[in-house]
Amino acid sequence: MRDQLRVLKHGLIASWTMYSAFQTWKSWTFMWLSRLLVQACFYALIGRMLGSQEQVDYLLVGNLVAIMAIDATVVILLAVGERQSGTLALMVAAPSTHLTVYLGRGLVNLGSGVAVSTTAFLVLPPLFDVRLPWPGAALVPLMVLVVGLSCYCYGTCVASFVLGFPSARWLALNMSYLVLMTFCGVNVPTSYWPDWLRAVTSVLPMTHGLTAIRAFIAEGPASTVLLNLVLELGVAAAWLAVAAVSFNRMVRRGRRDGTIEFSG
């Protein structure tokens, strides 16, 4: 366990080095954060056009959480990039497991996503007259982190399937977070969708976590909040387990048929 944590630490250092080479604090703040804040405003303004403060509340809160999903699922691109860089063969030969590196590849981006969502929760609700239950609302970032972990695990699972089709990575990334933003209760309640689609959303990340956040903001029963957060963590664990199995299968297949090459 300690060895794996050391691998994870070095993986995080490498990820941070790559991230900070691509993104400076200025570009993150003025290009990325502000772009996502405007995205949330775009949907909140639709609520204003609909003429209902209830709609503004619903759309703003949903999108404040949803903008985090973009960063959380970037792990799809990063995992494919890791595979293409040719390090898999070295990791398979090493005494450690490749899983730690692959499953931890996008944690820096997850941190970015949670930071974006937290900033958005601080800045935007007053602009749209959305009331948050302060000081209790200080717990919202923790719930966003739970949703973020869930989205991240889902992203790693998608990444494990896309590794064999690197040219589809951008498509996979966009489809992955758009599915969550469209169907998981961000803009309309999941009850709006047909039964079969609602069943699908119950095993997707964000659905339960967002329900918990909405219930918490509406000062609903603590049991509802906790139950939905536990369900969200359960969904996260399930996606992570599938991702781990899928990554292992990829390596087994690669060793069998000689496709663990040094570069994509």
Partner 1 sequence: MRLFLSGARTQFWLMGRQPDDLLTLCTIPFTVVMLLSIVMHAARPDLVANAFLAPTLIGLWGFSTGLAAEVLVGERWNATLQLGMAAPGAVHPVYLGRISAVMVLGVVPLGETWLLGKLLFGVTPPVHHPWVFWAAMAASVFAMTGTSLLLAASMLLSKQAHHYLNFLSFPIYLLSGVMVPVQYLPEFLQPLSHVIFLSSSADLMRDSMAAGPVSGTGWRLLAIVGLGVAALVGGRVLVALALRRAREVGTVTYA
Question: Is residue 41 a contact point for partner 1 (CB under 8 A)?
Answer: yes
Question: Is residue 203 a contact point for partner 1 (CB under 8 A)?
Answer: no
Question: Is residue 49 a contact point for partner 1 (CB under 8 A)?
Answer: yes
Question: Is residue 20 a contact point for partner 1 (CB under 8 A)?
Answer: no
The window from 46-54, 215-223, 225-233, 251-259 that contacts partner 1 (CB under 8 A) reads 46-54
DSSP conformational letter for 76: H
Nearer residue to partner 1 within complex by CB, 9 or 35: 35
Question: Is residue 192 a contact point for partner 1 (CB under 8 A)?
Answer: yes
Cα-based angle 8, 19, 163 (whole degrees, multiple of 5): 65
User: Which one among 126, 138, 139, 170 touches partner 1, defined by CB under 8 A?
Assistant: 170
Rg of the chain (C-alpha set): 19
Tell me if 208 sits within 8 A of 228, measured CB to CB.
yes
User: Which one among 178, 200, 227, 238 touches partner 1, defined by CB under 8 A?
Assistant: 178
49-71 burial code (b ≥16 CB/10 A, e <16): eeeeeebbbbbbbbbbbbbbbbb
Question: Is residue 80 a contact point for partner 1 (CB under 8 A)?
Answer: no
Nearer residue to partner 1 within complex by CB, 123 or 226: 123
For partner 1, the binding residues (CB under 8 A) are 27, 30-32, 34-35, 38-39, 41-43, 45-46, 48-50, 52, 55, 59, 167-168, 170-171, 174-175, 178-179, 181-182, 187-189, 192
